[in-house]
Amino acid sequence: MKSIQSRMFLSVAIACATVVMTQPLSAQNKRPLHKKSTQPITVQWLGHAAFEVTSSTGTKILIDPFLSGNPSTPDSLKQLGRYHPQAILVTHSHADHALDAVTIATASGAPVIGAVEHIASFKLPAKQSMGGNVGGRFTIGDVIVHLVPAMHSSDPGGRPLGFVLEFSDGRTLYHTGDTWVFGDMSLIQEFYHPNIILLGVGGGPYTEGPKEALRAIQKYFTPDHIIPMHYGTFPGLSDEAEVKAVFGAERHTVVMRPGQVRVF
Ligand SMILES: [Zn+2]
H-helix segments, the chain: 2-22, 25-29, 95-98, 101-108, 116-122, 185-192, 210-220, 240-247
H or E element in which residue 173 lies? strand 172-175
According to DSSP, residue 35 is labeled P
**96 Cα–ligand 1 center, Å:** 5
**94 Cα–ligand 1 center, Å:** 7
Burial grade of 198 (CB within 10 A; 0-12, 13-18, 19 or more): buried
* Among 45, 35, 37, 34, residue whose Cα is nearest residue 173: 45
- Would the pTM of this model clear 0.75, i.e. be above it? yes
Residue 5, pLDDT > 90, answer no
Is the Cβ–Cβ distance between 233 and 94 less than 8 Å? no
According to DSSP, residue 191 is labeled H
Interval 8-66: pLDDT, tens: 444 444 443 333 343 444 433 344 444 467 899 999 999 999 999 999 999 999 999 99
Interval 193-214: pLDDT, tens: 999 999 999 999 999 999 999 9
**42 Cα–ligand 1 center, Å:** 23
Check if CATH label 3.60.15.10 holds for domain 32-255.
Answer: yes
The residues placing their C-beta within 5 Å of ligand 1, an ion, are 96, 178
**21 Cα–ligand 1 center, Å:** 60
